[in-house]
Amino acid sequence: MWAPIRLLAPPVSTTTTGGATAGVDGTLGVSHGAWQSGPMGRVTVRRKVTTIDLAAPSSTTRPDTLSVEEPLELRVGGVPLTVTMRTPGHDIELVHGFLLSEGLIRSADDIVLARYCEGAVVSGESGFDENTYNVIDVTLAPGVAAPAASATRSFFTNSSCGVCGKASIEQLRAKSAHEVRGDDTRFAAATVAALPDRLRAEQRSFDKTGGLHAAGLFTAEGELLVAREDVGRHNAVDKVVGWALQNGHLPGTGRVLVVSSRASFELTQKAIMAGIPCLAAVSAPSSLAVECAEDAGMTLLGFVRGTRLNVYAGSHRITPP
């Protein structure tokens, strides 16, 4: 059964790679590909906050806008796979990006269907049971192997405990479907240096809350293809990668992924798995991120701010002024 979309539910837009069908009660389904939710009306919430100014001294209470953080459970074939804390919106993109980054799928055709589960409901003010939009079930295409029962213990995103750096890099090398080493795209330093400001201009929710990370996919000429925000930097990247996967932009040859955070191993591996040859971060990279980038032949930039940037790996792709 499809999760019913009631008239009182948040607005939902749809994007499919196949045919969508409507049920008798407003239900939406997709026969091939995935339908994509919009922001779901839960990106931000208003709460009271008390501000104490020790210099004045004074105390004031006012409404403030906060970033929403809710769990998203991912199921594959009805079997729970993982839970991530994310900002609702673009969830189907997130799921596609996550599964690709973890090597569980290699193309958009590997997913036949992705849908919100009907059973994930709460009693709403309207008196109806309302879908929480916090559980997504994915149906893989015939021939695509389902995740092993122990998969949640071997995700890259959970590998910070008990997995050494060398093993992580070797695991990534074995799983990656795309090769970035042969990408001979050149990126002008002046163009790349301007991208974080371009990305920042797209952070509408950050303007209200100050509490969201962002990721953006750009061309070598500096054209923005897509930007996404989330409370988790890894989720923001998964949403970008998922969008690219669904819209035919993978592998990301000649693209640069810009993140409003540090460059961790996790974000580096997501870029490599998506075939993106250049990752630019506004903060520092980790040592394992640099090792990973060097091993894959990827360009890794850090402290990309204003008129300066540091090249930690793949300097041959960066053209100085």
pLDDT digits (tens, 9 = 90+) for 282-306: 999 999 999 999 999 999 999 999 9
* Annotated binding-site residue? 305: yes
Please tell me the distance from the alpha carbon of residue 209 to that of residue 43, in angstroms, as a whole number. 10
Please tell me the distance from the alpha carbon of residue 255 to that of residue 191, in angstroms, as a whole number. 12
What the chain holds in terms of domains, given with CATH numbers, is 164-319 (3.40.140.10)
Q: pLDDT averaged over the chain? A: 81
Tens digits of residue pLDDT in 179-211? 999 999 999 999 999 999 999 998 877 667 777
Annotated catalytic residue within 117, 161, 164, 292: 161
> Does the annotation mark 164 as catalytic?
no
Please tell me the distance from the alpha carbon of residue 273 to that of residue 241, in angstroms, as a whole number. 9
* Annotated binding-site residue? 304: yes
Confidence band for 118, pLDDT divided at 50, 70 and 90: confident
Please tell me the distance from the alpha carbon of residue 200 to that of residue 62, in angstroms, as a whole number. 26
Residue 37 has which token pair? 């939710």
End-to-end CA distance of the chain: 58
Please tell me the distance from the alpha carbon of residue 193 to that of residue 319, in angstroms, as a whole number. 12
CB of 101 within 8 A of CB of 274?
yes
* Annotated binding-site residue? 282: no
